[in-house]
Amino acid sequence: MRSRRKMIPCWKRKAWFVVLPLAVLGLAQAPRAEAAGINPREVRSVPPPPEALPVTDPDQMGEWLMRLVGRYRIEGSLFMPTRTFLFRNTEGEETEGEFESRFEQARGTGDCASVGAGPGVSCIFNVSWQEQYEIIMDPDAGPVGVWHLPEGVPYLNPAALLMGMDLANQRLAYLLVNRNGLPEGGAGSIAGDRATFRSKCVNAPPLLARLNPAQKFDEKPPLTCDRITHIDAKSDGRSVEVSITVEINDEMVALTRLTLRRLAADGSVQKETRRRQ
């Protein structure tokens, strides 16, 4: 049986002569890289993005605030991680209980308008999710009761947000009034396209008192409750990304992520515009 001889195009044969010296050169450079403490097998073709610069100029801060103006359809999720706790069962033995993680969908609408000459932004939100509680009925599973969970109640259904500039301190100021009419506010800063706000949880003492009494956070009883909010609003985007983290004793206990998709005049979601590479 005659064997078939595979013909290799001339340009491919030449390519082998080009690749081979480059490969040999790479092997020769590998010991030098290892000697310098660099792993030659670790390829980093794309450098890490530069750290976002703080935005303190009033005009730039005002421009960022105006990015929020619009009507939105909102979709997202609420996540609560798994936690374990120690308690004494009916026989008086110390036992480990577990709170299983929760993941709930969140949906709603939002409407943000510019106010004042500051400039400022006023938003009305109607965002809901299934109410969450920690319900324990078996005394051998934990302290019996219906226990509150941070972010378990959809406090953004409805809620009002007012945001403006604190020019004296070169930062943002905001006030959120939840569905129960309780205010929560604080200061925030902008870096790049992201604004970050940190505040104390509204009505924290009663909230912490209604938690599962066996729960520990950072190995301590619940003492502090903080809410960290990130708002990402790009200048050329059709959506705004919001993440809200609740920390008890600096330990994350709930994370809410929302995508605000801007609506067109006819009520349809605006499509993202893609740039050609």
pLDDT digits (tens, 9 = 90+) for 185-220: 989 999 999 999 999 998 899 999 999 999 999 999
pLDDT at residue 271, rounded to an integer: 67
Q: Where are the domains of the chain?
A: 12-42, 54-262
User: Which residue in this structure is represented by tokens 């945001």?
Assistant: 163
pLDDT at residue 42, rounded to an integer: 47
pLDDT at residue 272, rounded to an integer: 57
- Note whether 183 and 199 are within 8 A (CB): no
Count of helices and strands (H, E) across the chain? 3, 15
pLDDT at residue 47, rounded to an integer: 53
pLDDT at residue 264, rounded to an integer: 86
pLDDT < 70: residue spans in the chain? 1-50, 271-277
pLDDT at residue 251, rounded to an integer: 96
Rounded to whole angstroms, the Cα distance separating 96 from 270 reads 50
* Ramachandran sector of residue 249 (left: φ over 0; alpha: ψ -120 to 50; beta: rest): left
pLDDT at residue 18, rounded to an integer: 35
pLDDT at residue 68, rounded to an integer: 96
Domain boundaries 54-262, corresponding CATH code: 2.40.128.20
Contacts of 88 by beta carbon, 8 Å cutoff, 6+ apart: 94, 95
pLDDT at residue 49, rounded to an integer: 53
Look up residue 205 and give its amino acid.
P
